[in-house]
Amino acid sequence: MTFAWRTVGMNYLQYSSIAARALRRTAKPELQSEIAKREGMAIKVAKWEAGKSGMPAPASVIETRTVAEN
Amino acid sequence: MSFITRTLKPATALARSTRLASRFYASEATGAAAGKLVVNFALPHQSVMTSQEVNQVDLSAVSGDLGILADHVPTIEQLKPGVIDFISDSGSQKYFVSGGFAIMNPNSVLNINAIEAFKLEDIDAQAVATNLAESQRLASSAKDDITKEAAAIEIELYESLQSALLGKSK
């Protein structure tokens, strides 16, 4: 039995983090500060070209909400 | 003389352990009280339950809904986003998990791993409704398969969460 997410090219790590992020968004506001500490644990990848660093971006994250620009 | 004792030792050790295994039930041997499950429920950032004794655990697995009691046949189940209900003498405690695995061991020890889990009372129903609408919008407007599938995963989770919250308020 193949999962739908597997057939479109997603792996289990991506699937489980999408579900985890979806659930985190629904927690009550009082818990959100604790949750924010957890969300920051992503691996950031910065691509270097000709001596200049590109913007560090979280590696292989499937975004389902538009991230606010800093 | 010493050679004989050296060869005899492993044999008697084996005989001793086989006799033990044939005399006791697995749950008695490890100290789990008769008829009780010992639950370890862990998240990456928090140990929700450590060696907690419960009577029954209801969970929602990919292979179907399970009610696990003590001495359940050992199994590894992938969990769907859904409610895990821990039923003990003092009542039932419900957590909504985003997914994970439940591993039932031969000695009535149940290990549950999840990435995120919240008690139902810690969930904001309005946030669920808003996020469900947002994910449905994404599902219809997504151009590539992966984003569409990501939206579908979120929709499934939010719908399951909504029915869990409704079930609780009954």
Whether residue B36 has pLDDT greater than 80: yes
- What's residue B111's pLDDT? 97
- Nearest Cα of chain A lies from the Cα of B110 at a distance, in angstroms, of 21
Percentage, residues of chain B above pLDDT 70: 79
Retrieve residue A45's tokens. Answer: 């990848």
Is-contact A13 A57, C-beta < 8 A?
no
Is A16's CB within 8 Å of B152's CB?
no
B interface with A, Cβ–Cβ below 8 Å: 45, 81, 96-100, 115-116, 118, 122-124, 127-128, 131, 134-135, 138, 145-154, 157-158, 161
Judging by DSSP bridges, how do beta strands B109-114 and B37-43 pair with one another? Answer: parallel
Tell me the three-class secondary structure of chain B, residue by residue: CHHHHHHHHHHHHHHHHHHHHHHCCHHHHHCCCCCCEEEEEEECCEEEEEEEEECEEEEEECCEEEEEECCCCCEEEEECCEEEEEEECCEEEEEEECCEEEEECCCCEEEEEECCEEEHHHECHHHHHHHHHHHHHHHHHCCCHHHHHHHHHHHHHHHHHHHHHHHHHC
Percentage, residues of chain A above pLDDT 70: 84
Average pLDDT of chain A? 82
Percentage, residues of chain B above pLDDT 90: 75
- Of B120, B1, B100, B124, the closest CA to residue B41 belongs to B100
Residues of B with Cβ-Cβ distance to A29 under 8 angstroms: 124
- Nearest Cα of chain A lies from the Cα of B132 at a distance, in angstroms, of 9
Judging by DSSP bridges, how do beta strands B91-97 and B82-88 pair with one another? Answer: antiparallel
Which element (helix H / strand E) includes A33? helix A32-39
pLDDT tens, A4-32? 999 999 989 889 999 999 999 999 999 99
pLDDT tens, B62-115? 999 999 999 999 999 999 999 999 999 999 999 999 999 999 999 999 999 999
Nearest to A22 among B146, B147, B157 (CB): B157
- What's residue A61's pLDDT? 75
Partners of residue B98 on adjacent β-strands: none
Q: Write the DSSP symbol of residue A22.
A: H
Interface pTM, i.e. ipTM: 0.77
Interface test with B, best of A2, A6, A8, A26 (most B CBs within 10 A): A26
Residues of B with Cβ-Cβ distance to A13 under 8 angstroms: none
pLDDT tens, B43-69? 999 999 999 999 999 999 999 999 999
